[in-house]
Amino acid sequence: MQVLQSFAIRAGYAVILLVAVLVLNFSMMHLAPGDVADTISQSMGGADQELLDQIRADYGLDQPFYIQLGRYIGGVLQFDLGFSFFYNQPVTELILQRLPATLLLVITAQLLALFIGVIMGVVSARKPNGILSHFVTFLALFGYAAPVFWTGILLLIAFSLKVQWFPVAGMQDVTIEGGFWAHFVDVARHMVLPVITLGSLFLALYSRLARATMMETLGSDFVRTAKAKGLSTNQVVYKHALKNSLSPVITLAGLQFSAVISGAVLVEAVFSWPGLGTLAFQSIIARDTPTILGILFFSALVVIVGNLLTDLALRLVDPRVGGKG
Amino acid sequence: MKHLIKGIVASVALSAVMATGVIAEGHKTGGTLVTVLGSNVRNLNSAVQSGIVTGYPGAQLFASPMRYDENWEPQPYLAESWNVSDDGLTVTLNLVKNAKFHDGAPITSEDIAFSVDVIKANHPFKSMFAPVESVDTPDAHTAVLNLSKPHPALMLAMSGQLMSILPKHIYGDGEITDVKTHPRNNENVVGSGPFKLVEFKNGEHVILERFDDFFIEGRPYLDRIVMRIITDPAARAIAYENGEIHMGAFESLPRIINRLKKVDSLTVTPDGYGAIGPIDWLAMNTAKGPLSDVRVRKAIAYAVDKNFIHKALMQGTAADSTSGIHPDSPFYAAQEGYDVDLEKSAALLDEAGFPVKDGSRMSLTIDFGWPGVKPQVEYVKAALKKVNIDVEVRASADFPTWAKKMGTGDFDMSWDTVFNWGDPVIGVHRTYDSTNILKGVWSNTQSYSNARVDELMAMAAVETDVEKRKALYAEFQEIIADELPVYHTNTLPYHTVFNDKVKNAPMGIWGTSTPIDTVWLDE
C-alpha cells in the first residue's frame, strides 16, 4: 500500500514536472528572435514578406503568445503533440519513427559499457597497482576526456576507410536484399562504431566507479571475515564484495540513462544515426517549436521511467533500499 | 532570347540526344546509384519548396517544360517545342503527346495551368511567374501563357527545379495555397519525372525508382536512386572515399574538397552550379552611419585582400566574383575590382571625414549567419584594423537571429551567401532593387537605392534581345561594383564529387537540380 502511495505521489510530481517543462520551454522558444518562418525561408533560398506572413498565419504564429501556449497545452492534454512546422508531419509520428534507433543505440552502448566496465573495475581493484589497473585508469581518463565526435571520426577513418570493415553512416544499407537475418547482420554492422564511440564515454565512468567502490569494499570488515572463514578469493570477490559495490554503479547508470538524448546527439550526428538526437538538434536549429517540445516531453518521460527502473534495480541488489523508503 | 527561341521545333527523338549534349552510346542500364543529401529534406514537392535540398529529388520526381544544355540554351523536355510571339506577350508550349504522370494519367495543358497557379501562390520566387496573367488551354497538349509584359526570364524559370509540373487531379483537391502542406508532398507522391518515389524516411533517406512509362523512350538509365541523408561533411567525405556513396553535390568545405581531389577514384568538379549561382559577399548597410558614404565602402574594399580570401581561406577552391552575377552566367561582366591598397584606403577615409583619433577612425560591427564563414568575418576584422577601423564581430545564435538583424537593418556589415537562381531577374534583382528594401533576409537588406540601377533592371527584365540585355546588365554590374552596396569576393565553392563508376555525371547549368535520366553506372 505504502509503495503504491509513493508511486502515486511520484506520478503526480511527474505530471507537474512535464507541464512545467513544456511551459518553460515554450516561453523560452518564444523569447528568441526570429521563428520557424525564417528557417523555412532559409531552406527555400529566401522568401518575401507576403509569403513569410502567410507561413506564420498557417501555423498560428501570428497569434498572441498566451493563445499559442494555451492551444499547445490544450493539445498536449488531449495527447496531441501537434504538427511539426518544418516537416509537416505529426510530431508523435516523427518521434516514434526516431525513438527506436536512439533506444537501440543507447541501450546497447549502456549495457555493454556497464558489463565491461564493472568487470574491468573489479579486475583492476584486485591489484590496484598492477599494469591492468593503470590501464583501466588511463582508458577511463581517455574515454572521458576525448570528445565523442573526435573519437567517432578517428574510428571512421580507421575502420571505414583504412580497413573497410564497417559502413560509414546510417543504420542500414537500403540496397541489401534478404530476410530478417540479412538485415539483422546489416544493422549490427552499422551499430559497431557508434556503440563503441558512445560506449567509451560510459565505460570510462563505470570502470572508474566500479574500481573505486570495489577497492573500498575489499578493505571492509565483512570481506576480511569472509576470507577468514576460508572462502576462495573468487567467491569473496564476486559473491560478497561485488554485490555490495554495485549500488553506486547502478545509480550512476540510472542517471546516465536520463542523458539518453543529450549523450547521443553528437554520436548520432557523426554517424548520421537516424535517431532522436539528430532530430532534436535539427529542430532546435530550425526553431520547430512543436517538435522540440515533443522531444523534451519524451525525454522527460524517459527520465522518469529511467528513475523508476533504477529504483527497482537498487531494491533488487540492496534490500536496505525501499521498505519504508 | 527571342532569336534563340523563335521557331525552335525539335523532334522528341532529337531532344533525347540534345538534352544533355552527350550522345548516349554504349551506356549500360540498370543499377542503383547511391547519392547523398547534406541536410534533411523538408518537402519533396519542388513546386512549393525551393532550395538546393529539395531541388535534387524534386527534379527527379517532377518534370519541367524545358531543360538547359551546358551553353545555356533551352532544350525540349515536357514541351517538345515552344513559340514566343513577336511582341513577347504570349508563350505557347506544345507538350509531348505521350507524357504520363506516375499514376498513369496523361499530362495535359490543364496540369501546366494548375502548376503555374500553385507556383505563383506558394513558391518564394514571385518574380518567376509574376508577369504571367493567365494560362489558356486550347487543347490537351497546348498551353498558352499570357504575359502582362515581355518576360525573357520565363525560359529559365520553366527549367530545372523551378517549374515542377504537378498532377491537378492529385494536388488540386483543396485550396491552392494548401498545396505547400499537402499530405502527398512527402508520401505517395505522384510526379511527372523520370523517377518515382519508393520511400522517404525523414532524416534517413529518399529512395526513387525508375518510372517505366517515362515520356522519353529508354530513359532513365538507372533502376534506382538512393539519396542518403548524411549531414556531417567529414562522414560524407569518408563515404565517397570508401565507395559507399557514388555521387554527391554541393560540397563546399575547401579542406574536404582538396582532400577528395587527391583520391584517384574520385572526380571533384565545380561544374554544374552556373544556374544556381551561389556567391559570397561582404554586405554593407548603406542606410546607416559611416557606410552610407560610398568612399568608406570603397576604403573597406581596398583594405580587404581578396587574394588572401581566395588562397588562404578558400584554399583555391572558389572562383573570383566581382559583380553580383555568378561568373558562369552568360550575363556576367567581369569588373576590375579593388586590388588591396592600404594607402588609397586611408586616403579615402580621410577624405570622407574619418581621421585617426586615438588610433581609431570608427567602430563598425560585422555579423555572420552560419559558422562556416566565421574565418572570413575574423579576417575582415583583422584587415580593417590596418586602416584603423575597429570591428566588432557579432555572432548569432542561429539563422533566425541573424535573419532578424538583417531584415530589420540592425547591422553595419555582414558576410552573406546569395544564389542567382537562373535568370538575374529571379535571384539578382532582389538585392539591389530599391522597391525591395528591408523586407526580410535576402532582400535589399543593404537599403541600396540608385535610380539608374532600378531603371536598368526594369529594362533588362523586359528586353527580349539577348545582346541588348547583356549590355544592360553590363552597365548594371559596373555601377554595382563601383558603388559597393556589397563587396563581391568569391563564388561559394560548390563541388560535385563522383567516383569512377558514375558516367554522364550531371554537370549542366542546373547540376543535380535537373533530371539525371542519362546518368549510368559502369559496374
When CB atoms are compared, the residue of A38, A47, A270 closest to B400 is A38
- The residue that leads in pLDDT, B75 or A85, is B75
Cα distance between residue B445 and residue A91, in whole Å: 35
Contact B204 A87 (CB under 8 A): no
Residue numbers in B near A167 (CB within 8 A): 244
Cell numbers 588591396: residue = B340
Which residue pairs from B332-337 have beta carbons closer than 8 angstroms and sit at least 24 positions apart in sequence? B332/B477, B333/B470, B333/B473, B333/B474, B333/B477, B333/B478, B335/B477, B335/B478, B335/B481, B336/B481, B337/B306, B337/B481
For residue A2, what pLDDT is reported?
63
The set of cell numbers assigned to B480 is 554595382
Cell numbers 584594423: residue = B385
For residue A208, what pLDDT is reported?
83
When CB atoms are compared, the residue of A39, A50, A157 closest to B399 is A39
Cα distance between residue B92 and residue B85, in whole Å: 8
User: Which amino acid, residue A12?
Assistant: G
Written as one string, the DSSP assignment of A73-92 is: HHHHHTT---B-TTT-SBHH
Residue numbers in A near B202 (CB within 8 A): 87, 89, 94, 97-98
CB pairs under 8 A between A and B: 160
Cα distance between residue B60 and residue B42, in whole Å: 16
Contact A43 B238 (CB under 8 A): no
- The predicted-structure confidence for B265-277, as pLDDT tens digits, reads as follows 999 999 999 999 9
Q: Return the exposure string of A129-142: e unless at least 16 CB atoms fall within 10 Å of the residue's CB, then b.
A: eeeebeebbebbee
Cα distance between residue A48 and residue A42, in whole Å: 11
Distance, in angstroms, between A80 CA and closest chain B CA? 18
Residue B447, pLDDT > 90, answer: yes
Cα distance between residue A70 and residue B459, in whole Å: 52
Tell whether the torsion through CA atoms of A116, A117, A121 and A124 is positive or negative: positive
Burial of A93 from C-beta contacts in 10 A (0-12 / 13-18 / 19+): middle
Contact B443 A88 (CB under 8 A): no
Cα distance between residue A194 and residue A160, in whole Å: 12
Least confident of A236-240, A259-263, B68-72, B113-117: A259-263
Cα distance between residue B523 and residue B222, in whole Å: 12
Residue numbers in B near A51 (CB within 8 A): 122, 124, 126
Residue numbers in A near B231 (CB within 8 A): 269, 272, 278, 282
Contact B42 A87 (CB under 8 A): yes
Q: What is the mean pLDDT of residues A231-243?
A: 77
Q: What is the mean pLDDT of residues B359-377?
A: 93
Hey, which residues 8-37 in chain B have their CB within 8 Å of chain A?
A: 32, 34
Tell whether the torsion through CA atoms of B479, B481, B483 and B485 is positive or negative: positive
Q: What is the mean pLDDT of residues A292-319?
A: 78
Q: What is the mean pLDDT of residues B64-69?
A: 94
Q: Say if residues B431 and B444 touch (Cβ distance below 8 Å).
A: yes
**Average of per-residue pLDDT values in chain B:** 92
Q: What is the mean pLDDT of residues B311-330?
A: 94
Which of B126, B163, B124 has its CA nearest to residue B143?
B163
Cα distance between residue A106 and residue B295, in whole Å: 59
* Per-residue pLDDT band at A323 (split at 50, 70, 90): low
Q: Say if residues A183 and A176 touch (Cβ distance below 8 Å).
A: yes
Residue A324, pLDDT > 70, answer: no
**Average of per-residue pLDDT values in chain A:** 82
Residue B17, pLDDT > 50, answer: no
Least confident of A247-256, A268-277, B227-236: A247-256
Which of A141, A121, A132, A112 has its CA nearest to residue A214?
A121
User: Which amino acid, residue B494?
Assistant: Y
Contact B441 A51 (CB under 8 A): no
- Looking at the domain A96-317, which fold is it? MetI-like fold (1.10.3720)
The set of cell numbers assigned to B334 is 567581369
* Per-residue pLDDT band at B463 (split at 50, 70, 90): very high
The set of cell numbers assigned to B425 is 531577374
The set of cell numbers assigned to A213 is 567502490
Which of B195, B225, B192, B221 has its CA nearest to residue B210?
B195
- Which residues have a Cβ under 8 Å from the Cβ of B13 and sit 6 or more positions away? none
Contact B228 A272 (CB under 8 A): yes
Distance, in angstroms, between A256 CA and closest chain B CA? 25
- CB distance from B442 to chain A under 8 Å? yes
- The residue that leads in pLDDT, A155 or B4, is A155
* CA R_g for chain A: 24
3-state secondary structure of A296: helix
The separation between CA B216 and the C-alpha centre of its own chain, rounded to angstroms, equals 26
Rounded to 5 degrees, what are φ and ψ at B169?
-70, -15
Contact A52 B440 (CB under 8 A): yes
**Could you give the C-alpha distances from B377 to A254, B304, B366, B370, B371, in angstroms and in order?**
44, 11, 7, 11, 10
Tell me the helices (H) and strands (E) count for chain B, helix number first. Answer: 17, 20
- The residue that leads in pLDDT, A58 or B405, is B405
- Which residues have a Cβ under 8 Å from the Cβ of A15 and sit 6 or more positions away? none
Q: Say if residues B235 and B38 touch (Cβ distance below 8 Å).
A: no
Hey, which residues 139-158 in chain B have their CB within 8 Å of chain A?
A: none
Hey, which residues 289-318 in chain B have their CB within 8 Å of chain A?
A: none
When CB atoms are compared, the residue of B42, B180, B226 closest to A43 is B42
Contact B49 A44 (CB under 8 A): yes
Rounded to 5 degrees, what are φ and ψ at B132?
-80, 110
Q: Say if residues B498 and B265 touch (Cβ distance below 8 Å).
A: no
The set of cell numbers assigned to B176 is 491552392
- CB distance from B47 to chain A under 8 Å? no
Contact B201 A97 (CB under 8 A): yes
* CA R_g for chain B: 24
Hey, which residues 157-196 in chain B have their CB within 8 Å of chain A?
A: 177, 180-181, 185-186
Cα distance between residue A223 and residue A243, in whole Å: 12
- CB distance from B397 to chain A under 8 Å? yes
For residue B19, what pLDDT is reported?
45
Cα distance between residue A82 and residue A56, in whole Å: 16
Q: Say if residues B271 and B510 touch (Cβ distance below 8 Å).
A: no
Q: What is the mean pLDDT of residues A5-17?
A: 77
For residue A322, what pLDDT is reported?
57
Cell numbers 537501440: residue = A104
Nearest CA in chain B to A96: B202
Residue B12, pLDDT > 60, answer: no
3-state secondary structure of B226: strand
For residue B456, what pLDDT is reported?
97
Contact B51 A274 (CB under 8 A): no
Cell numbers 572462502: residue = A231
Residue numbers in A near B43 (CB within 8 A): 88
Mutate to test the interface with A, among B32, B52, B129, B398 (most CBs of A within 10 A): B398
For residue B88, what pLDDT is reported?
93
- The predicted-structure confidence for A167-216, as pLDDT tens digits, reads as follows 888 888 877 777 888 888 888 899 999 999 888 888 888 888 888 888 88
Distance, in angstroms, between A25 CA and closest chain B CA? 17
When CB atoms are compared, the residue of B54, B244, B439 closest to A49 is B439
Hey, which residues 193-252 in chain B have their CB within 8 Å of chain A?
A: 201-205, 207, 224, 226, 228-232, 234-236, 238-239, 241-242, 244
Q: 10 Å Cβ neighbour count for A84?
A: 27
For residue B256, what pLDDT is reported?
95
Percent share of chain B, pLDDT over 90: 84
For residue A260, what pLDDT is reported?
61
Residue numbers in B near A98 (CB within 8 A): 202-203
For residue B5, what pLDDT is reported?
43
Least confident of A59-68, A249-258, B98-107: A249-258
For residue B55, what pLDDT is reported?
94
**Could you give the C-alpha distances from B321 to A169, A219, B252, B280, B454, in angstroms and in order?**
36, 73, 16, 8, 22
Which value does ipTM take for this structure? 0.80
Cell numbers 547519392: residue = B35
Please, where in chain A does CATH 1.10.3720.10 lie? Answer: 96-317
Written as one string, the DSSP assignment of A240-262 is: IIHHHHHHHHHHHHHHHHHTHHH
Residue numbers in A near B203 (CB within 8 A): 97-98, 274, 278-279, 282
For residue A242, what pLDDT is reported?
80
* Per-residue pLDDT band at A160 (split at 50, 70, 90): confident
* Per-residue pLDDT band at A161 (split at 50, 70, 90): confident
Least confident of A231-240, B75-84, B426-435: A231-240
For residue B8, what pLDDT is reported?
42
Contact A48 B226 (CB under 8 A): no
- The residue that leads in pLDDT, A115 or A7, is A115
Tell me the helices (H) and strands (E) count for chain A, helix number first. Answer: 14, 0
Cα distance between residue B279 and residue A203, in whole Å: 47
Contact B441 A41 (CB under 8 A): yes
Residue numbers in B near A285 (CB within 8 A): 398-399
For residue B25, what pLDDT is reported?
61
Distance, in angstroms, between A35 CA and closest chain B CA? 6
The set of cell numbers assigned to A178 is 534478404
For residue B329, what pLDDT is reported?
95
Q: Is the peptide bond before B220 cis (omega within 30 degrees of 0)?
A: yes
Cα distance between residue B151 and residue B133, in whole Å: 12
Q: Say if residues B137 and B143 touch (Cβ distance below 8 Å).
A: yes
Rounded to 5 degrees, what are φ and ψ at A90?
-60, 135
